Amino acid sequence: MRINSICVALFLLCSAMVNRDKVISRSFVLAEKQAAVMLKEVEAGVEKSRSENKTPVPVGPRTLKGGELVLAPSRDWTSGFFAGELWYLYEYTGKDEWRKKAEEFTARMEPEQWNRKTHDMGFKMYCTYGNGYRLTKDASYKSILIQSAKTLSTRFRSATGVIRSWDHSQDRWSYPVIIDNMINLELLFFATKVTGDSSFYKIAVSHAKTTQKNHFRSDYSSYHVLDYDSVTGKVLKKNTHQGYSHESAWARGQAWALYGYTMCYRETKDRSFLRQAEQIEGFIFNHPNLPEDLIPYWDFNAPAIPNEPRDASAAAVMASALYELSGYSTNGKAYRAKADKIVENLAAHYTSPAGANKGFILLHSTGSKPANSEVDVPLSYADYYFLEALLRKQHRDENKH
């Protein structure tokens, strides 16, 4: 009887592993089908913009509005995610057709290396040229990434110790810094590694340390926006612009924080960053308002929970971060299990039917509910981080055996 019990247990374990492998393969099959649809939709939209002499010409998808595709120009913070998705398709499949399309859409982002008016250089340039360089070692990509890092560095002020985020709404904020900015630091770490110039690294560490000190509450939840005095570096305001209230925990903001400090630990091996990531994880996954399927509501303190929109984009970012964090932490097994649950639920309940939704992969994300903008819609960055999470899952699964 004991032998039979062991055999049954092994059979169930193997079945679970096979099913999880199918989550990756089936999701990438869907991703390829959706990318093919999206390519046609994007090109049609670009041609329409050109025929109507609209400027700037869009470069990639952002979301759907009223069922119609919304395209983004290169200056938009979401402009690089589709090119990044194409690089991930090439990475998973090895198909040259996806590499060529990734190269084409990446090239559309080249002018952004000089754009000093945005902090989103990491989102735009590292998701595109960064993935491209990682997979091809194209020297021209490295040069563009270095220039992008130089451009981003101009937004740093030693008086504040952080990189300025937004230039808009100067009547509201003096020197605003958003938690999202943590993701852009990876570009700076890369620049130091390939140039030997430590200035990029020092800026990234200063930003991470200052954010660690000022952006978090005692429970390790994060504000969205902090406003600094640009001369003294004093914190003037602590706001949550895209969340329910200033003292609430906006879901995607918590996801950016988890991802950002995990990445900072990888790049620095500073254990305070590892502890920060672990504490953020604890806040998220021990929160009483986190649903059973681990796909968060748009804000952990939204007043009408459980009748509030979910944010699949936040879940995808969290899953990707957890797969990486699992390789650094003594809690790795638990983190992997949570990441697995997220991607399995996203794949089972949050994906588009093949051929629908203009080619987006994930449904039910929330951009900014307070502005009634992009609520319960697909978003390009949700798709990007979903594919990244799947690739990281594959890597962890392969190294586990």
120 noted as active-site residue:
yes
Known binder of ligand: residue 252?
yes
State the Cα angle at 383 between 390 and 365, rounded to 5°: 120
Query: Catalytic pick from 21, 76, 120, 167?
Result: 120
Known binder of ligand: residue 180?
yes
Tokens of 262: 């995990």
The CA–CA distances, whole Å, from 1 to 10, 12, 21, 92, 215 equal: 14, 17, 30, 43, 57
Q: Residue with structure tokens 């904020």?
A: 173
180 noted as active-site residue:
yes
Helix ranges (H only) for 269-379 are 271-285, 312-325, 332-349
The CA–CA distances, whole Å, from 135 to 26, 36, 139, 183, 341 equal: 23, 21, 12, 20, 28
Query: Catalytic pick from 76, 180, 299, 383?
Result: 180
Provide the CB-side half-sphere exposure for 41 (13 A, CA).
Answer: 24
Q: Identify whether 296 is preceded by a cis peptide bond (ω within 30 of 0).
A: no
- CB-based contacts of 111, cutoff 8 Å, min separation 6: 74
Known binder of ligand: residue 368?
yes
Known binder of ligand: residue 120?
yes
Binding-site residue numbers are 120, 180, 240, 252, 256, 368
Residues annotated as part of the active site: 120, 180
Binding-site residue numbers for substrate are 120, 180, 240, 252, 256, 368
